[in-house]
Chains A and B, each alone.
Chain A
Amino acid sequence: MTTVPASVSTLPLPRQGIAGWLLTTDHKRIALLILSTALVFFFVFGAMALTMRSQLALPGMSILSPHVYSEFFTMHGSGMIFLAITPFALGLGIYLVPLQIGSPTIAAPRLLLFCFYLYLFGALGMVSGFLTSHGAADAGWFAYVPLSGSEYSPGKGMDLWIAGTFLAGLGQLIIGGSILWTVMRLRTKGMSLMRMPLFTWSMVGTTLMVIASFPALLAAMSMLAVARFQPGVTASNTFNIAYQDVFWFYGHPVVYVMFFPFVGAILDVVATFSGRRNSGYKWTVIALLAFSTGSMAVWGHHMFTTGQIPNDYFSVVSIFLIVPAGLEYFSIISTLVGGRLVYKTPLLFAIAFLPQFFIGGATGVMLASPTLDYMLHDSYFVVAHFHYTLFGGSVFGFFAGFYYWFPKATGRLLDERLGKTHFWLMVIGTNVTFIPMFFSGFFGMPRRVETYPPTAGLTTTNFISSIGAGILGISMIVLALNIAKSLRHGERAGANPWSAFTLEWATSSPPPPLNFSSPPPYVTSPAPLLDLRERAQLAAVESAGGRAQEMVLAPTRAGEEEDNGE
């Protein structure tokens, strides 16, 4: 545990204007660059999903040609995962972790800026495939060989996709290292590991998974590059199945990379809007670490139907993930129970997360059972399942965090009325879109089909899904309006608009370049600002009784003993 690295005081003054953004070494600005880029991609790839849903609304429609449809679902899937949700997850960490642990800076900020450019140019590379004669990549987000090899996908779009994914993935890997380094080395006075806010703990789990699994993405992309230069390698089944193993060794942990930070956001949000400390802090930390460990050992459940994986092992380990998941639910719900709940927009998103993510989790247990997976794998049931985890779960968690920390980053509150409109439209849209997909899959609809015959019995469920997608589209327009309006006319936030407990609220909104204009308070628990408030209250009461001096010190000691006990 150190305080301020000596080099910080010698940092040059921040540049002004556009260069002040593009050449910044301020972690907050780098985070905002990443988050706003990711938000743009979220809208772009979301619009692609709406186009696909329009085509699927009725049987036999062809708004997009089969080829362009393949490009759209490939770019929607890979774009949302590599370029939108993972950057949301890591971007929140870059912005918040130094603030939450009371550090004036992040570790390796110049490297971090370089990572933003790796991500940006990787992303531009991936989407620039649309400008080539064969169009963008069209082999699905997991790009199985031999299909993604040069023999079956000859266009340059696929090459650009591989190179872009590699660059973006490399950037995200280094970002993971930077955040973990920050947590380990730059905590402020009193901030022991067991006094870190739960969002920061969720970033520890996230970055551990990033460091352990993202190299496998780089390896998988290298394998694809080999398969494109030497298509002969795909004549070996070993190569083809190894690609699937290596890809999913990344592909499963990344699911939790896109989930943990948003659970962390929800844990912070429920504590703040319940007005109390997180319940079951210690078990939540254990659960986060167990969850990240377990995430590395379950990739084979994506491969039950390959017939080339030990199904029992992967099934058992996957089912055991209900233990840490159940603990996180316990922590969130038992913080709400007994709280004093203030229904601001962030809390609404956090509450909707609970049943929605459960639907994703429960169907996940079903898919982890090979006998059910043999039916449901690669069908719309799976599409519904992972949209409940990623959209109904992660994106709701992201918006809980977005509404919660937007005033910290911009100094202005988002509009509550528009926020609640956005929330309700999103709840309705999510469930109307994705519930019918479970049935589409059960009725025999495979993933990644550009249309279906009128006789297949899939018309009703698809039509309802498409209506839901339209509602989601409208909800995103409301969000865009809210951001545009609040950035200029939003209510001024002040340092701590929600009466929250963690250190990012102990500085101005937005924070100064080195985060804290005066040193943050000595940290005595995961909720340091609540400690200060309680101590002040006690002091006020006791000074009225004339025994002030004694009692100001007493709770501090008590707090420390309690934390050591944790």
Chain B
Amino acid sequence: MNFRHDFNEVFGVEVPIAIAVMVIICAIVAFTVIRYRAGRGHEPSKVAKHPVAEPLYVVALVIIALGLSIFVAHVNGQERSGLGKPQLSVKVVGFQWCWSFHYKHTPVTVTGTCLTKSQDPTLMLPVGKNVRINLTSNDVVHEFWVPYFRFKIEAFPHHTNSFDVKVTHPGNWVGRCSVFCGVFHYRMDFRVKAVSAQAFDSWLHTQRAAVRSAA
């Protein structure tokens, strides 16, 4: 779950900072609204410059921005470096309005119609292996999103986007198209099912046999 890990790392830093600053802003505004209301009968301040506080504040903002951007770029680099040599490659193709999953070096292609839940195609993945996904589209721009993975990437026609994924435990998750691709965009769901390496091999074997017997 490489993407999930990186997502949590950044989320765990940025959300607490955001909440803390939000609390500070609300506290200052609430204090000001009560303390400086006209009803108290004071005169407004005539000070319009803070020659020391303002430059200091700019410096503080720059330091925060610098720290945050270095941290974000670092995690981004860690994610982009990938997982090394893939043990399995799957070509994923989006089309109006469903998906197909082709397992490289095999005749196996899984697809469906996505018209109802039962016809959603399933992307089978082996637990613990580095899987390279090569993503493309047959018609318009789609987007491959598995919320549980904390990851999505666009599928372009005439272009392939690749990414690596390593599932650490068995599971069954929903996947969706997340960029608008026409009237049935909302129905373009698929499933991702992770099973043990042995179960995956036997599944692939069965699929292969099924393709051969059909041919």
Residue pair B61, A323 in contact (C-beta under 8 Å) = yes
Q: Is A276 an interface residue (CB 8 A)?
A: yes
A304 to chain B, nearest CB (A): 9
Residue pair B58, A315 in contact (C-beta under 8 Å) = no
A-side contacts of B14, CB under 8 Å: 362, 365-366, 369, 372
Contact partner of B176 among A283, A307, A341, A446, CB < 8 A? A446
Q: Is B36 an interface residue (CB 8 A)?
A: yes
Residue pair A447, B76 in contact (C-beta under 8 Å) = no
* Nearest B-chain residue to A366, judged by Cβ: B14
Question: Contacts A280-B50, A307-B154 hold; do A316 and B73 have CB atoms under 8 A apart?
Answer: yes
Residue pair B37, A343 in contact (C-beta under 8 Å) = yes
A-side contacts of B186, CB under 8 Å: 66, 446, 448-452
Residue pair B18, A306 in contact (C-beta under 8 Å) = no
Contact partner of B38 among A152, A281, A341, A366, CB < 8 A? A341
B-side contacts of A282, CB under 8 Å: 49
B-side contacts of A306, CB under 8 Å: 153-154, 156, 161
Q: What are 24 A-B pairs at a CB distance below 8 A? A: A66-B184, A152-B139, A235-B158, A276-B46, A279-B50, A280-B50, A283-B54, A306-B154, A306-B156, A311-B80, A312-B76, A322-B65, A333-B32, A339-B45, A340-B36, A340-B43, A351-B29, A351-B33, A366-B11, A369-B72, A371-B75, A374-B7, A375-B3, A446-B145
* Nearest A-chain residue to B189, judged by Cβ: A453
Contact partner of A375 among B18, B58, B96, B151, CB < 8 A? B151
Tell me the bound Cα distance from A306 to B156 in angstroms.
8
Tell me the bound Cα distance from A307 to B76 in angstroms.
13
Q: Is A139 an interface residue (CB 8 A)?
A: yes
B-side contacts of A453, CB under 8 Å: 117
Interface string of B20-45 (1 = CB under 8 A from A): 01100110110011001110001111
Tell me the bound Cα distance from A365 to B65 in angstroms.
10
A55 to chain B, nearest CB (A): 11
Number of A residues, CB within 8 Å of B: 82
Question: Contacts A66-B186, A305-B152, A444-B147 hold; do A327 and B38 have CB atoms under 8 A apart?
Answer: no
3 interchain residue pairs of minimum CB distance? A338-B45, A444-B147, A449-B186
Interface string of B154-190 (1 = CB under 8 A from A): 1011110101000000000010111111111110000
Interface residues of A in 342-359 (CB under 8 A from B): 342-343, 351, 354-355, 358-359
Q: Is B141 an interface residue (CB 8 A)?
A: yes
A-side contacts of B76, CB under 8 Å: 311-312, 315, 369-371
Binding stretch for chain B, among A216-224, A236-244, A504-512:
A236-244
A386 to chain B, nearest CB (A): 15
A430 to chain B, nearest CB (A): 16
Binding stretch for chain B, among A111-119, A140-148, A170-178, A550-558:
A140-148
Residue pair A147, B180 in contact (C-beta under 8 Å) = yes
Q: Is A378 an interface residue (CB 8 A)?
A: yes
Residue pair B25, A275 in contact (C-beta under 8 Å) = no
> Which A residues have a C-beta under 8 Å from some C-beta of B?
66-67, 70, 138-140, 144, 146-147, 152, 234-237, 240-241, 274-283, 305-308, 311-312, 315-316, 319-320, 322-323, 326-327, 329-330, 333-334, 336-343, 351, 354-355, 358-359, 362-363, 365-366, 368-372, 374-375, 377-379, 443-444, 446-453, 456
A-side contacts of B32, CB under 8 Å: 333, 336-337, 341
Tell me the bound Cα distance from A177 to B10 in angstroms.
42
Residue pair B49, A66 in contact (C-beta under 8 Å) = no
Contact partner of B178 among A140, A319, A362, A377, CB < 8 A? A377
Interface string of B43-67 (1 = CB under 8 A from A): 1111111100010011001101100
Question: Contacts A276-B45, A371-B76 hold; do A329 and B117 have CB atoms under 8 A apart?
Answer: no
A534 to chain B, nearest CB (A): 9
Question: Contacts A311-B76, A351-B33, A371-B10 hold; do A378 and B178 have CB atoms under 8 A apart?
Answer: yes
A332 to chain B, nearest CB (A): 10
Question: Contacts A337-B32, A351-B29 hold; do A279 and B48 have CB atoms under 8 A apart?
Answer: yes
> Which B residues have a C-beta under 8 Å from some C-beta of A?
3, 6-7, 9-11, 14-15, 18, 21-22, 25-26, 28-29, 32-33, 36-38, 42-50, 54, 57-58, 61-62, 64-65, 68-69, 72-73, 75-77, 79-80, 96, 117, 139-141, 143, 145, 147, 150-154, 156-159, 161, 163, 174, 176-186
B-side contacts of A355, CB under 8 Å: 22, 25-26, 29
A200 to chain B, nearest CB (A): 17
Residue pair B183, A146 in contact (C-beta under 8 Å) = no
Residue pair A354, B10 in contact (C-beta under 8 Å) = no
Residue pair B7, A372 in contact (C-beta under 8 Å) = yes
Tell me the bound Cα distance from A319 to B69 in angstroms.
6
Tell me the bound Cα distance from A43 to B179 in angstroms.
27
Tell me the bound Cα distance from A359 to B182 in angstroms.
31
Tell me the bound Cα distance from A549 to B95 in angstroms.
83
Residue pair B29, A278 in contact (C-beta under 8 Å) = no
Tell me the bound Cα distance from A415 to B163 in angstroms.
58
A-side contacts of B178, CB under 8 Å: 377-379, 446-447
Known: A312-B76, A351-B33, A453-B117. 19 other contacts (CB 8 A): A146-B139, A146-B141, A147-B181, A276-B44, A276-B46, A277-B48, A280-B49, A282-B49, A305-B154, A311-B80, A336-B32, A338-B47, A366-B15, A372-B11, A378-B145, A444-B147, A446-B177, A449-B185, A449-B186
B25 to chain A, nearest CB (A): 6
Residue pair A283, B58 in contact (C-beta under 8 Å) = yes
Tell me the bound Cα distance from A378 to B152 in angstroms.
9
* Nearest A-chain residue to B143, judged by Cβ: A378
Contact partner of A327 among B28, B57, B96, B174, CB < 8 A? B57
Contact partner of B29 among A144, A336, A375, A378, CB < 8 A? A336
Tell me the bound Cα distance from A343 to B143 in angstroms.
48
Contact partner of A319 among B54, B68, B156, CB < 8 A? B68
Max chain A C-beta neighbours (<10 A), residue from B6, B140, B163: B140
Residue pair A371, B7 in contact (C-beta under 8 Å) = yes
* Nearest B-chain residue to A244, judged by Cβ: B141
B156 to chain A, nearest CB (A): 6
A69 to chain B, nearest CB (A): 8
B142 to chain A, nearest CB (A): 10
A-side contacts of B22, CB under 8 Å: 355, 358-359, 362
Residue pair A319, B29 in contact (C-beta under 8 Å) = no
B64 to chain A, nearest CB (A): 7
B-side contacts of A323, CB under 8 Å: 58, 61-62, 65
Tell me the bound Cα distance from A346 to B10 in angstroms.
38
